[in-house]
Structure 1
Amino acid sequence: MGSDAGTTTGVGTRATATYDEHADWYNEFMSAGSAGEYIRRVHGALEDLLGAGEGACLDVCCGTGAHASVLGGLGWAPVGVDLSGGQLRHAVGRLPVVRADSTALPFADGSLPAAVCVLAHTDVPDYAAVLREIARVLRPGGRFVHLGVHPCYIGAFADWSDRPRIVVDERYADHSRSFDAWNPAGVRARVGAWHLPLADLLNATTAAGLRLVRTAEAGPGGIPDLFGFLAVKP
């Protein structure tokens, strides 16, 4: 929800930033009261998983920098990376940023003590490649927090029209990009989303060389709409 790690327009084509034309709308959306309760839950989960620390914390797919204050409040020095110049226009007032594809992070091997990726894994076609880059730039013992929409309950495959019952259909196994969304005025209807099933997400994390420490779920009414985890680089 809200960032570009580098979406591609086809095999062999350069990375493109899908959020550029929606950047102003998205910045307003993230600041609006309608998103407030949800973002408070996101930030609470981020604080709980990451914990206090010091030194640079890379905000991968930082978007408009909406999570920078949380990282700073924990003692970290946030640094953002995103492909969308439109998003970064809003982020520059919130944290230092660099425009880059997060499947090719412009940081040296083993140079960073922490990294996070918040509400962005469905914005990229190859999140496994992003995870490998994050593992590369983390120093030994470095922390990584993933926090995103719940892979089992949020997506084109999940029908929330009869809450609290949620119906999941066969599209759960479909990794392709979809613009289907319960909210036609929301983020997904504008920029689409790539789906990554839960097992693939966790397997890609361990395959990147990261060790899972803790997982977390959160959501209203007993149905989790957020899923996150803390991993470390051995």
Structure 2
Amino acid sequence: MTADPADDTRTRILRAALDLFAEHGYQRTSLRQIGERLRLSKTAILYHFPAKEHLLAALAEPLVADLEALLDSAQSQPTERARWTVLEGWLDIMLAHRRPLGMLFHDIALIGRGDTYHRLMEVAMRANDLIAGPNAGRRERVLAVQAVGACSDPVVFFTDVSDEVLRADMLDGARRLLAPLPADAAPRPHEEAGAEPHEDAGAGPHEEAGAGRRAEATAGPPTGATAGPRTTVPPSRREP
């Protein structure tokens, strides 16, 4: 069975676009430049991608689809296992899509408010909810957002560090974020004498549930989570 020439051309266009976006930035790269690199006319490029922003959305698609599949698989798991399934899987997907992620970091706003943008926002919200756990208080929700950042941002900023080393450092950072506060930790502002208590302050059900989750997080991922295989990103979903 032979490959569809149209699919092959589309893949070549995406690869060339990713290279040129990385070299010159999205704004400074024209469809004409992409065509010249591939010896294709601008009309041929427009046949596959009616506008330049469609290239950006297509480059983001494998990343978004992999994250959606990860969250679907974690949705039915117990809270603690779901938390670390999401964090480890999220990190592995970020590393698998390292090049387009760097490009998207600078040009994500250019995707606009289309379907890809809304899917990215939905993915982020779902990940935060799964990591925070049910009935999470403010502190747990804040830490969940920080943990997602700990498993994302360093991939863009530390491009000279190997996947293996960066993965270990990032997971260590996520564990530290989700660990319980030391018993002798300084009180938070609303806990100091005379301060007006915050709406989440006190030992209500949210705080008690949060304390239990923080205690669970001390040991990091469930047994076997970090020792097991990494999240497998299908070859078809990897960067062009």
Pair in the same fold by TM > 0.5: no
Higher relative contact order (CA 8 A, sep 6+): 2
Higher strand share: 1
Larger Rg: 2
TM-score by length of 1: 0.23
Higher helix share: 2
